Amino acid sequence: MGIFATLAASLCLGPEVRSQGSVFGEVSRSDLSTPADSDLVFFGFIHGTDDEIRLSVSDGAGFDVGFWFDDFQNYLDEAPNVRFDYFFFDTTVSEWSHISATILAESIQQEDVTLTETGFPSAPSGLGATRETAERIVLYWDYDPQFTYHVYRRTQPSNGSFFRLDDPAGRLVNPGVADSVFVDTTAVDGVAYDYVLIAEDGPAEYSPASAALDVSAVIGCCLPPSKGDIDQSGSVDITDLQVFIDHQFLTLQPLICVDEGDLDLNGDIDITDLQILIDNQFLTLTPLPACH
């Protein structure tokens, strides 16, 4: 879909033409050539704060045949006369640009972009995560001490804006995380998230966003509600006990899901876990620990 068709679709132009406020523009390199679609990325925010950012891969945004575009109505607090900032990066020739202007009332406005030859930090790499509990997700990445890092998250299945975690107010004077680790303690049980990082090398000296990281709602391989489903059949029964005994004493076959067998929660699989499973099945009938 071309840029003007995309804008028309996003603005719901039909029998009743109704503009909701969008921006688009032509992008040129310093030599006046046009970047290929795959070469240009951008991110933007409004109100002079990066509490909410829009990426070129967000719904309603993109770069197509030399034109960039975004829909202001996709910001939570979009309003006329509000400042907007966008940062553009050509990853092939290391050129970038920053534009800042004001959202016009009920309009489609054109903001052309000319990139400059000044370089910029590389997009952060190596972003990974461990979901330690339902509410605690540890993010880590390849750390460069020259930079600090802004951390953003969005809730799946949204493909829209990302929201800053290391400073939820989005204060640009806060340079971000000077480390290789950030712990998200605001996750919600059963919810999956996407995360991205942006590196900062001084005020308004930003990198492109990292590749988005998908962090699943599932923690490990344990099947809710409780541990002990050793054969991953969906229930805990005598077959799980047989598989556990085989693993410990007979065939020594590895478990499908080690987390299911760690019944005393000490991180190891041993005879104590077997005793707990036997108690649950035949003796005290003590409930098994929950999957986290």
Q: Residues 171, 91: one domain?
A: no
Chain centre to alpha carbon of residue 159: 10
Tally Cβ neighbours within 10 Å of residue 217. Answer: 14
**239 within domain boundaries:** yes
pLDDT in tens, the chain (292 residues): 455 444 444 444 333 333 357 999 999 999 999 999 999 999 999 999 999 999 999 999 999 999 999 999 899 988 888 999 999 999 999 999 999 999 988 778 999 999 998 889 999 999 998 887 778 889 999 999 999 999 999 999 999 999 999 999 999 999 999 999 999 999 998 899 999 999 999 888 999 999 999 998 766 778 778 899 999 888 999 999 999 999 989 988 888 888 889 899 887 889 999 999 999 989 988 899 987 6
**122 within domain boundaries:** no
Q: What is the CATH number of the domain that holds 274?
A: 1.10.1330.10
**260 within domain boundaries:** yes
Which residue, 21, 206, 19, is CA-closest to 124? Answer: 206
What's the domain range around 243? 221-292
**119 within domain boundaries:** no
Domain count, the chain: 3
Phi (first) and psi of residue 237, to 5 degrees: -150, -170
> In sequence order, which residues have a C-beta less than 8 Å from that of residue 269 and are 6 or more positions away?
247, 248, 255, 258, 261, 262
> Residue 1: its pLDDT value, please?
47
Residue 167 near residue 142, CB atoms below 8 Å: no
Q: Which of 189, 215, 241 is the last residue of a domain?
A: 215
Q: Residues 205, 227: one domain?
A: no
**104 within domain boundaries:** yes
Chain length of the chain: 292
Tally Cβ neighbours within 10 Å of residue 266. Answer: 10
Residue 9 three-state SS:
helix
Q: Residues 139, 202: one domain?
A: yes
**120 within domain boundaries:** no
> Residue 38: its pLDDT value, please?
95
**123 within domain boundaries:** no
Q: Where are the beta strands (DSSP E) in 29-187?
A: 40-46, 52-55, 62-64, 67-71, 83-90, 95-102, 108-110, 113-114, 128-133, 136-140, 148-155, 162-164, 181-184
Q: Residues 76, 136: one domain?
A: no
> Residue 20: its pLDDT value, please?
56
Q: Residues 274, 207: one domain?
A: no
> Residue 257: its pLDDT value, please?
82
Residue 74 near residue 58, CB atoms below 8 Å: yes
Q: What is the CATH number of the domain that holds 20?
A: 2.60.40
Cis, peptide link before residue 224, omega less than 30° from 0: no
Q: Which of 54, 79, 114 is the last residue of a domain?
A: 114
Which residue, 216, 213, 281, is CA-closest to 244? Answer: 281
Residue 100 near residue 85, CB atoms below 8 Å: yes
Q: State the Cα torsion 208-193-82-87 to the nearest 10°.
A: 0
